[in-house]
Amino acid sequence: PRAVLNIDKPTSKKVGGSANGLADDSTKADIIKKLEYTVGASPSDAKAKDAYQAVALSVREQLLDKFNKTQEYWKKQDPKFVYYLSAEFLMGRSLWNTVYNLGLEGKYGQAVNALGYKLEELREQEQNAALGNGGLGRLAACFLDSIATLDLPGWGYGIRYKYGMFKQALKDGFQDELPDIWLTNGNPWEIARPNIQYRIGFYGSVDNHKWSPAEQVIAQAYDNPIPGYNTSTVGNLRLWEAKPVNEFALDKFNEGKYDEAVTERRKAEDISAVLYPNDATEYGKELRLKQQFFFVSASIQDVLARFKESHSNLKDLPSKAMFQMNDTHPTIAVAELMRLLIDQEGLGWDEAWAITVKTLAFTNHTVMPEALEKWPVKVMGKLLPRHMEIIDKIDSIWKDSLKEKVLGNLEKAGKSAKPAAAAKPKASTDGKPAKKAGAEVEEEEEEDPVEKELTRYGIITENPWEKGVKLVNMAFLAVVGSSSTNGVAHIHSEIIKETIFKDFYEIYPEKFQNKTNGVTPRRWLAYCNPGLAALITKALGTDAWIKEAHLLEGLRKFAGDKDFQAKWRAVKLDNKKRLKAVIKARVGIDVPVNALYDIQIKRIHEYKRQYLNMLSVIHRYHHIKSLSPAERKKVVPRVVVFGGKAASAYYMAKKIVKLVTAVGDVVNKDPDVGDLLKVVFLPDYNVDLAEVIIPAAELSQHISTAGTEASGTSNMKFQMNGCLIIGTMDGANVEIAEEIGKENMFVFGVDADDVPRLREERKNFKDYDPRFTAVLKSIADGEFGNKEYFADMVASVSDMTKGNDWFLVANDFATYMDAQEEVDALYGDQDEWTRRSILYTAGSGFFSSDRTIDQYAKEIWNVKPVAPPA
């Protein structure tokens, strides 16, 4: 790292650059001033990290200028706002994005160069804001970018976690988890708001519907301005930090009870300390519910406070505010908005309910049962007793409203609607007496058939695994308590109507919608792949595609153009070199550039089937070894890269990580294989690593068991960057195939409709592909070491008494291998490969988050653009 800034004193010339057209003196001077007086570094021995801070602080002023103007303008205009409530925002780094979205790249690029740095290298100094687990959190970040870019009045609301997503390291090839201490150097992109604070209560008792919380904490706001692209609009992400009501108990301290003196502070700070580590496993249930309530309550209180500054009638709230609940995490909002309207604002139940339903909307992101939150009534009742009371009432009013319908249904089906004890043993519909009628009557004495039917609709239900334990189904609460429920890809939105929300869909068909996800083409094409962006802009004769992604369609006409193809390939080669260097630097593996770069980056999960990918890698390895040296010359070389974090408590996912590294250890040093196959696990996959990996990818894997991946969003990022996809007909892959032509994608595997049947049949599954058996045997026999450690992974897909191949790895293996063969064959024809690559980018416009957000704004939120004057 350089220690000396090039600080030739700025000349008196203010703007317009120096004689060589590079340095913009006023910008340069501003950076130096920030360095000296805010960062407190001496220019002569400033480090890159200091220079980054100084540049960021300088850019921040430009950002805040527009931010203040936007917020003031919106306040004056008083439009309807959307508030995006999300427990996760995976923002990544901000410097580059801010500079480019504000159009400051020329000015700052030059000033930074004149100071002896490059913007690219300063960018590397920034900590990642990893306040999210994966797709869901990154989607929220893309949405904020699009909301601002489309000039929509809107804010995000979430938690300012002190520690973000854990940092992943490898220790002997196993995942090691380290805390993500991302705020050590401060965060120049946020504005602390000590004057914006709300009280949040927990525990306590309820007397005559009046809640007296036993504990309170303070939620303090931090604003994170969100610049739109090529517009004067700068939106906001308001994050809450938990603070104690009483910082420090001096009396305890004086008594020598030092720990007790800070107990309250520590307990409060725990609430916003860590991003819950995953979306699929049990984790400090009470703390997690506390986090959810904490940020939801603060956000709603904040919105109501602002609303009341200029409105006196709460009935107008739905015309001024819409809360989008991102997954079940913020759905306690239904009860909290009811509580605030009734208990604090004095509204009646019906009035409050009408407002609540109109003001809330819900997005579902999964059908995986473990991620659909259900809080034990005991936990909810203890932590939030008034909310539990409200949810109870919502549940009973809701079920009462269904009684007639349920009665009608029972009668239609010819079933008795009276409790069995009151009913005489009745003839069944076929006229024969009911079997063992007497015994049944006795057994079901208490059972009221209507009540029994109603349990299907219950927001409060009994835990099927633990008799007598009642749970609050947060997804059901959200569907009933909001005006819209949407899935995140067409197939997913259909599945939820047929499965988890079937009963609700029958009652409220009009509430259900689809909003296929999208990703921002700024971060995920224009900025992460400048080479390709420049080529696209040149071909289309405009850079308007950055905001109007449908213009990418214009690339279609170049798909077969040999000259254009060559340029397209040259960009890919440059990006591959960049990734090659990162691989070398991070894990010390030398990978060739003249190989197919085959990537699977996402959270590690059995349903995402990294395991299936690994089985095919092992097969490839064995196959190469079986060839003669002459035959090996015909093999298409591959670099297979994996990246992704396993949830800390997810046993199988951790084994998958180890399998990748263990196979890599064997394959990468096998002289028979050489450069024909390299297997790489890149640790600590996160947003900025994705920004390097995705532009370099030639093949990406989206191979989840059909019906399990709600949408996927990395598939869209890869597509935008001209990377071919091998995938199942799952999530948004289905729509990507529609946009680019299914024949251009390597599709394999069973359809979602067949999965339940196959899961039943799997018990008798014997039809193993011999390649599958051989590969599995090699793991079981210890070819990659760790024989015992991998034993239950082997069993999970082969021993029907254990894992039962729930994710159909064995089942889909053969068609996956066929698809892989097609990949190899096509890579040999570089012209055709490149033609398809161009078609992928050309067909990616639909997957811009601008399109998604435009649909949300028009079809759910009814929020209209309001651009502040430039």
Give the footprint of ligand RUG on this chain (CB under 6 A).
Answer: 134-136, 139, 279, 327, 365-366, 371, 488, 517, 709-713, 731
Strand ranges of the sheet holding 374-376, from the earlier edge strand across to the other edge: 374-376, 470-473, 460-462
Nearer to ligand RUG, 167 or 365 (CB): 365
Nearest distance from residue 289's CB to ligand RUG, in Å? 15
d(C-alpha 846, C-alpha 859), whole Å: 17
Question: Which residue among 138, 320, 386, 717 is the active-site one?
Answer: 717
Answer for the pair 490, 730: CB distance below 8 angstroms, yes or no.
no
Instruction: Assess whether 661 carries a catalytic annotation.
Output: no
Nearer to ligand RUG, 92 or 731 (CB): 731
Calculate ∠ Cα 685-687-692, nearest 5°. 80
Structure token digits, residue 84: 């995006």
> Looking up tokens 């991998």, which residue turns up?
790
Structure token digits, residue 209: 């519907």
Nearest distance from residue 671's CB to ligand RUG, in Å? 41
- β-strands 191-202, 215-227: how paired? antiparallel
Answer for the pair 232, 869: CB distance below 8 angstroms, yes or no.
yes
Question: Which residue among 34, 290, 399, 603 is the active-site one?
Answer: 603
Structure token digits, residue 777: 């045997």
Backbone angles phi, psi at 234, to 5 degrees: -130, 115
Nearest distance from residue 521's CB to ligand RUG, in Å? 17
Question: Which residue among 602, 619, 658, 851 is the active-site one?
Answer: 602
Q: 728: buried, middle or exposed (CB in 10 Å: 19+, 13-18, 0-12)? A: buried
Point out which residues pair with 599 in neighbouring strands: 641, 700
- The residue nearest ligand RUG at its CB is 135
- Return the closest-CA partner of residue 673 out of 749, 713, 622: 622
Instruction: Assess whether 602 carries a catalytic annotation.
Output: yes
Point out which residues pair with 461 in neighbouring strands: 471
Q: 569: buried, middle or exposed (CB in 10 Å: 19+, 13-18, 0-12)? A: middle
Nearest distance from residue 488's CB to ligand RUG, in Å? 4
Nearest distance from residue 472's CB to ligand RUG, in Å? 17
Answer for the pair 274, 263: CB distance below 8 angstroms, yes or no.
no
Nearer to ligand RUG, 384 or 488 (CB): 488
Nearest distance from residue 347's CB to ligand RUG, in Å? 32
Question: Which residue among 365, 523, 702, 835 is the active-site one?
Answer: 365
Nearer to ligand RUG, 142 or 304 (CB): 142
- β-strands 129-131, 174-178: how paired? unpaired
Answer for the pair 188, 57: CB distance below 8 angstroms, yes or no.
yes
Nearest distance from residue 788's CB to ligand RUG, in Å? 31
Nearer to ligand RUG, 710 or 724 (CB): 710
Nearest distance from residue 136's CB to ligand RUG, in Å? 3
Nearer to ligand RUG, 141 or 559 (CB): 141
Answer for the pair 711, 735: CB distance below 8 angstroms, yes or no.
no
Q: Which helix (H) or strand (E) holds 351?
A: helix 349-359
- Return the closest-CA partner of residue 358 out of 318, 317, 313: 318
Nearer to ligand RUG, 702 or 835 (CB): 702
Nearer to ligand RUG, 486 or 798 (CB): 486
Amino acid identity, position 298: A
Residues 6+ apart with CB under 8 A from 162: 183, 241, 269, 272, 273, 274
Answer for the pair 576, 585: CB distance below 8 angstroms, yes or no.
no
- How many beta carbons lie within 10 A of that of residue 263, not counting itself? 13
DSSP string, 272-339: TTB--S-SSS---HHHHHHHHHHHHHHHHHHHHHHHHHH-S-GGGHHHHEEEEEESSTTTTHHHHHHH
DSSP 704: P
d(C-alpha 814, C-alpha 820), whole Å: 10
Nearer to ligand RUG, 190 or 327 (CB): 327
Nearer to ligand RUG, 162 or 365 (CB): 365
Instruction: Assess whether 47 carries a catalytic annotation.
Output: no
Nearer to ligand RUG, 153 or 712 (CB): 712
Structure token digits, residue 348: 């009646």
Nearer to ligand RUG, 143 or 833 (CB): 143
Instruction: Assess whether 14 carries a catalytic annotation.
Output: no
d(C-alpha 144, C-alpha 237), whole Å: 8
Instruction: Assess whether 655 carries a catalytic annotation.
Output: no
DSSP 44: G
Nearest distance from residue 278's CB to ligand RUG, in Å? 9
Nearer to ligand RUG, 110 or 366 (CB): 366
Strand ranges of the sheet holding 321-326, from the earlier edge strand across to the other edge: 191-202, 215-227, 234-244, 154-159, 81-85, 321-326, 360-363, 485-487, 512-514
* CA-based radius of gyration for the chain: 29
Answer for the pair 787, 777: CB distance below 8 angstroms, yes or no.
no
Question: Which residue among 231, 713, 728, 841 is the active-site one?
Answer: 713
Instruction: Assess whether 608 carries a catalytic annotation.
Output: yes
Exposure letters 538-565 (e unless 16+ CB within 10 A, then b): ebbeeeebbbebebbbbbeebbeeeebb
> Can you tell me whether residue 372 is helix, strand or coil?
coil
Provide the annotated active-site residues: 365, 602-603, 608, 713, 717
